Amino acid sequence: MLEELAKKLTGSLDFIYPDIDTDYLAQQLIKTMGLDKQCHQPGDHQNNWDEADILLITYADSILNHAKPDEKPLQTLYHFLKDKLQDNISAVHILPFFPYSSDDGFSVMDYLAVNESHGEWEDIKRISSEFKFMSDLVINHMSARSRWFDNFKKRIDPGKDYFFEASPDADVNAVVRPRTSPLLNPVQTEDGERYVWCTFSEDQVDLNFKNPKVLLEFVNIIRHYMENGVQIFRLDAVAFLWKEVGTPSIHLQQTHEIIKLLRLLIAHYNPNAVIITETNVPNRENLTYFGNANEAHVIYNFSLPPLLIYTLISGDCRHLKTWLMSMPPAQMGTTYLNFIASHDGVGLRPTDGLLQDQEKNELISTMQQFGGRVAYRRASEGVDKPYEMNISLYDALKGTIEHGPDKWQLQRFVCAHAIMLALEGIPAIYIHSMLGTENDYARMENTGRNRSINRSQWDVGQLEEALANKFSHHSKVFEQLSNLITIRKKQTAFHPNATQFTLHLGLQIFGFWRQSMRREQSIFCIFNVSSETQQIALSDINLIGTDNWTDLISGLEIEDQAGMLTLTPYQALWLSNK
């Protein structure tokens, strides 16, 4: 087994590092991962998920216990997960919980330590013993306040050649940027001034994977995470990993080869482990990270959040339907991660080629009307373009483009999740969506960062009080989303790889059909995406006449298949034959 693994690793290494002894490097990688002592054979095209898998996205300190100041946030989070979400979720993604210097965790100072203000590795192990655990591997860049970067400035190892450098005169006009900050930043070192590459910020210095020692360091980090219970790896900003001056420095083939290599190592350590690539780019580019079912097991459906929000605030599903029809079914062993809110803003690049400029402008202006903010990126032509919208999902869906805020906010919000939960793929729910958290202007003003508007911190006592108040929208959101999740987890037609076909039911009614892999269950998913009551002839849905059909959400039984269905504003139907 090890001989075959080494051969596969060398195939990628020969492309990445053509000028070194790749046979020796392959053996170093195997040893660093510990595979020389214990190695497992991963299955071909193995699905490590089913319809019961629901992922929760949260920060370690999204919930705090002010009544117990000695209780660390990871302990508070564990108790909340056990008490309130045990029956809802199967997996939890805790955003970077390491010591950091900026970007709410994504500027990592020490990959092998838990931020002591959050807790310790034992807290991570305890959560991972109850839920599948997803961790970020912040692989593109590291904090300018890290020991490695301090060593870089001192010109000593480890760190001396760990960060990517370029001449200040280098042609970087073609580089794709997600920010407007300078790409190259001067740093004083023991050898004089050097310019380091910073894709995201001056405090987030890009790592130099042209040095194979950096690759070995990250394999050691991955092993450490797996020893502490991490089963799912989110490769943060991985599209920018490999740089070449004079190119866009995004999606380069060396990046894809490194992902293949990491997947091989991780799968041989734990065949049930999963790699997810975080590539907030146009849809066609995003799909390439599946490779030939040999790169990411799962990719984010980055086009879904902006398209679904636009659909529900415009009352028109045309673009959402067009996008859904264009999405290829994921091969066995791969699937999509469906989400409509996260710690980041709502990306606009994934709408390229899907929304017209006027429609993007309508979307942006409506989000601003609902209290949101807009972040910009520096385009290759030297102009700043809207990059993402920063807003809580609950406030993003408080009204429509035409009429502004209205009375349908809760129904619109629940409808959005009913759509997401039914789509092909694994659903991921941001904790602040589960709780119906609104825009946090105070936190945004305190940090000076737009993204903080959707990164609230709840006191657990206040949160429990809000959830216990049946009249609060927090309680209503939690109850209705929990109900949808409970229903979803029992349906084989909602397996992440079950068949999906888009239905054509007009502009105000969005629909698709799911069928289980053994074909024992079909579900017609029908949604009124408008603020007006809609009617649809059951004959247009083409229900199988010999089956009995029931709406899983309301319990409504379809008695007359030649009749009409009436859908109230933003009503969701999951019509099932079992």
Whole-angstrom distance, CA of residue 399 vs CA of residue 402: 9
Tell whether residue 141 is among the known ligand binding residues: yes
In DSSP notation, 209-255 reads TTSHHHHHHHHHHHHHHHHTT--EEEETTGGGSS--TTS--SS-HHH
| Whole-Å CA distances, 35 to 29, 73, 133, 538 | 9, 34, 22, 57
- The single-letter code of the amino acid at 353 is G
Whole-angstrom distance, CA of residue 558 vs CA of residue 549: 6
Half-sphere exposure of 71 (CA within 13 A, CB side): 17
Closest by CA to 282, choosing from 178, 206, 411, is: 178
Separation of CA 507 from chain center: 28
Tell whether residue 236 is among the known ligand binding residues: yes
Residue 236 falls in the annotated catalytic set: yes
Tell whether residue 344 is among the known ligand binding residues: yes
Cα end-to-end span (Å), the chain: 44
Which residue in the list 203, 206, 236, 551 is annotated as catalytic? 236
For 413-482, give the secondary structure using H, E and C: HHHHHHHHHHCCCEEEEEHHHHCCCCCCHHHHHHHCCHHHHHCCCEEHHHHHHHHHCCCCHHHHHHHHHH
Whole-angstrom distance, CA of residue 171 vs CA of residue 37: 47
Tell whether residue 540 is among the known ligand binding residues: no
306 C-beta neighbours (distance < 10 Å), count: 28
Tell whether residue 177 is among the known ligand binding residues: no
Q: What is the DSSP letter of 13?
A: H
Q: Is 457 exposed, middle or buried (0-12, 13-18, 19+ CB in 10 A)?
A: middle
Evaluate whether 142 touches 108 at the Cβ level (below 8 Å).
yes
Tell whether residue 377 is among the known ligand binding residues: no
> Which positions are annotated as active-site residues?
236
Residues that constitute the known binding site: 103, 141, 234-236, 343-344, 451
Residues that constitute the known binding site for substrate: 103, 141, 234-236, 343-344, 451
